[in-house]
Structure 1
């Protein structure tokens, strides 16, 4: 039960940070990079399958 709650909490926080990141592109006072990094952290910690998909991605391996 706690794992399911944590998963949904991370989805909600990650989605909210994604929206803030999108808004921060147009508003000069909001930190875009911070929201980008936090979004990546929360959405990658939802599941191991999503994390492995992201790290095995060709673009990720090329640029990171």
Structure 2
């Protein structure tokens, strides 16, 4: 019953997300994220396959759980974020809005640097023993 429920929600969300590609006011990304969430919840096999994939391990587990990122990777991430923030800063004519966007970018740089480099690592239970993840 649970599997059918998640699969039906995933089907509807996928259809709405695909319609959202062509209709500007329907949020495509949100519906696609809901689709993947429901598909992963519908099958234990698919969930385990996803969690054990190399992309999940390198981009989610290493970065957000273990907080394992090199200084080069951190700089690369901030440069890409800078490009994304620079485009509207160049396009917008309001000096207030430009300053506000720059302040948001600066807050991201400070906050993510603190979280990924200086925030204490979480202790996790591994085979009955608490260990600090690195």
| TM-score between both structures, scaled by the size of structure 1 | 0.76
Q: Which residue of 2 aligns with 1:40?
A: 36
Q: CA RMSD in A?
A: 1.6
Which has a greater percent of strand? 2
The number of residue pairs the alignment matches comes to 60
Q: Determine the C-alpha separation between the residues in 2 that align with 1:42 and 1:26.
A: 23
2:3 paired residue number: 7
Question: Scaled by the length of structure 2, what TM-score is found?
Answer: 0.40
Give the alignment partner of residue 51 of structure 1, picking from 41, 47, 52: 47
Gaps spanning 5+ residues in structure 2: where? 61-134
Residues 1:21 and 1:62: Cα distance change in structure 2 (over 3 Å)? farther
Q: Which is higher, the Rg of structure 1 or of structure 2?
A: 2
- The structure in which a higher percent of residues are helix is 1
Write the deviation string for residues 21-58 of structure 1: whole angstroms up to 9, x where unpaired: 11111110001121011111111001211111122233
- Structure 1 unaligned regions, length at least 5: none
Q: Once the 2 structures are TM-superposed, how far is the Cα of residue 61 of structure 1 from its aligned partner?
A: 4.2
Counterpart of 2:16 (choices 6, 15, 20) is: 20
Does 51-60 or 39-48 show the bigger shift? Answer: 51-60
- Stretches of 4+ moved more than 6 A in 1? none
